[in-house]
Homo-oligomer: A and B are copies of this chain.
Amino acid sequence: MSPRSRQVNDAIRAESRARILEHALEQFAANGYDRTTIRAIAKSAGISQGLIYNYFASKDALLRAIFEQSMQDVQESFQRAEEAPPGQRTVALVRAAFELLERNQRFWRLSYGVRMQAPVLSDLGDGLQRWTETITRTLRGYLQEDGFDEPKLEARVLFALIDGVAQHYVLDPAGYPLEEVVERIVSWYATSGHS
């Protein structure tokens, strides 16, 4: 008789939104953004196509929402790395990065698949750009603390290394010896003040 209570509605909305995001991520990661149809997402989520537009203004907005959600996760994770004792922060951040990677493979797969199109995918470009800069700057700070000679250059190298490993991992998660590779990298940056 009486309309659904505010709380019940909010719960329904939260659940539907999450469901859509989850299945959109799954499809985007598997087939790439452009080759994923709204139809496929709806089917995968077991809902109608129209419902998606009840929660997201466009396919583009859906992609953006996925990024925002994941970026928040990244921020939090990196903040925890900051709490590590000086001299161990570089290593803490490297480990944090790979933990993120394992925990959210599909997002990173999507992210790498979309990266080169950033300037072309409206409004996404900025996010990725800023995120890249943040990482580089953070890394630079840690490397400087840890006594590296050329922290700026070194940050570029380390970031590239992390990025490269992450991509290779994501291309074949089952077959990639991520643990070993991470340990190899960590062992290299653990003994501080090289050069």
Q: Which residues of A contact B (CB under 8 A)?
A: 30-32, 34-35, 109-110, 112-113, 115-118, 120, 150, 153-154, 156-157, 159-165, 167-168, 170-171, 177, 180-181, 184-185
Contacts and interface: CB of A to CB of B under 8 A. Distances in A.
Contacts of A32: 34, 116-117, 120
Given A35-B120, A160-B161, A160-B167, 15 more contacts: A34-B35, A35-B117, A112-B115, A112-B116, A113-B115, A113-B116, A115-B167, A116-B171, A150-B184, A153-B181, A153-B184, A154-B184, A157-B185, A159-B164, A167-B167
Nearest to A109: B116
Given A32-B116, A171-B115, A157 B153 contact: no
The prevalent SS among residues of A at the interface is helix
Nearest to A111: B116
- Number of copies of chain A assembled together: 4
Contact of A164 (B116, B163, B177, B184): B163
A31 B120 CA distance: 6
A184 B157 contact: yes
Given A35-B120, A156-B177, A156-B181, A168 B163 contact: yes
B181 A157 contact: yes
A34 B88 CA distance: 43
Interface centre among A150, A161, A164, A170 (most CB of B within 10 A): A164
Contacts of A117: 31-32, 35, 113
A185 to B, nearest CB: 7
A55 to B, nearest CB: 16
Nearest to A2: B1
Contacts of A113: 115-117
Nearest to A160: B164
